[in-house]
A and B are shown apart, each in its own frame.
Chain A
Amino acid sequence: MYSIVFTSLLVIILCWKTHKLITKKRVSGDFKGIDDELVIMVNEGEAID
């Protein structure tokens, strides 16, 4: 019983981690995206002169 519970817990953790990594990969974008986003963000709000 102990072995089943322990193994199940580890499998659940592994599944959860994989799901999290895949989701992150899907939304992480690319360097170009990060670059454009940064420039848009620093130009928003109070202007730097």
Chain B
Amino acid sequence: MTKQAVQFSKKRRTTYRFQKVKLCKKCNRYSVLKDEYCPACGSLFIGVETLGNSLSKRRLFTEVSWIILFVSIGVFFAPTRHTLYYSLIVGLIFCLTYIVLTFVFMKSEYFHELKKLLRVDLKKIKTGIWFDSDLAKEDVKAERLADGYDKLREIGDFIKSDAMKQSQVMVLNRIALRSDMELELEGLIPTSYDKHFVKYALEVLKINRTLMTKKCIVYFIRYRDAIVVDFGIDSLLSVACMTLRMKLYILEFSEFIEEYLDYFPKERVLRLYSIIYSNPDIEWGSLAEKTKRVVAMKYYYDPDFKPFMERKQVLTN
């Protein structure tokens, strides 16, 4: 199947994920997508922060109205002129203190309202995300892969299920990936073996090695048997080669590297050899021995390894 060439739009970044939640007041439906206007009715979405803010303001307004009413009643029923003036002054001081107090605690009040709103409307938020997910599926079905992935990516910030990750991976596997794309790997790692994910990961790693993180390597090691069956030994070999990216990874996955070291291309062996040689204080375990053995067997007369050999001789002398 030919892959679709697409252009991804930039991912929307907010400090917190809940800032992406918004409501269409007309449809009474929440959404976490990028759209500014509701796709169903065309109304402007209102962000959950604005909603929390207006709720706390409305609450403050109601409270202030009640206390003003209370003070007014107190002043109205004052039996003497003297008590009336007294009640008026005390009432005014009370109102002012009340307002100042509320302003001092405005932030925590806002927190409280926001939290309450998200809790109370949780079911509605979930239904909204269902609707968003359906929109994404429609896009994918209609071959609008970039739009579909864009939506799934936004939903994926909230929904951490394997099914959601697989939906994204399936779309990505139908797209011609490029290095200028903002790709994600670690966030898409499922909790069990998924052939589609491995296919995507191997494709991504050809483009951007930096996406190969510790979690990804652990995933490949955990499901190595299934991966070899589905993608051949070369796939694991390429992952093993990529673990040489960082000293920390080499130490952490030394056994895995050792297993495939015999099949490493020369350039990778050279890299490993040079790292081990320039860090003699690090406890490399049996990996150092194995690397030296491989170099001695395969590259003893190779000019690229010569500087290390000479240094070794100097050291032993």
Q: Which residues of chain A have a CB within 8 Å of any CB of chain B?
A: 2-3, 6-7, 9-10, 13-14, 17-18, 21-22, 24-25, 28-32, 34-35, 37-39, 41-43, 45-49
Contacts and interface: CB of A to CB of B under 8 A. Distances in A.
A25 B107 CA distance: 9
B65 to A, nearest CB: 14
Given A24-B109, A48-B155, A2 B83 contact: yes
B129 A42 contact: yes
Interface string B76-114: 001100010011001100100110011011001101101
B98 A48 contact: no
Nearest to B159: A48
Grouping DSSP codes into helix (H, G, I), strand (E, B) and loop, the A interface class, with mixed when no group exceeds half, is helix
Given A43-B161, A48-B155, 10 more contacts: A2-B79, A3-B86, A3-B90, A6-B90, A10-B94, A21-B105, A34-B114, A37-B118, A38-B158, A42-B129
Contacts of A42: 122, 125-126, 129, 158-159
B161 A34 contact: no
Grouping DSSP codes into helix (H, G, I), strand (E, B) and loop, the B interface class, with mixed when no group exceeds half, is helix
Contacts of B94: 10, 13-14
A48 B114 CA distance: 23
B31 interface: no
Given A14-B98, A42-B122, A31 B15 contact: yes
Given A48-B133, A49-B161, A35 B16 contact: yes
Q: State which size class the interface on B falls in.
A: 35 or more
A49 B106 CA distance: 38
Nearest to A10: B94
A30 B129 CA distance: 24
Contacts of B167: 49
Interface centre among A3, A24, A48 (most CB of B within 10 A): A48
Contact of A28 (B21, B115, B133): B115
Given A39-B158, A48-B133, A29 B16 contact: no
Contacts of A38: 17-18, 21, 118, 125, 158
B247 interface: no
B16 A31 contact: yes
B161 to A, nearest CB: 5
A22 B192 CA distance: 46
Contacts of A25: 105, 108
A49 B134 CA distance: 9
Given A31-B16, A42-B126, A48-B159, A3 B87 contact: yes
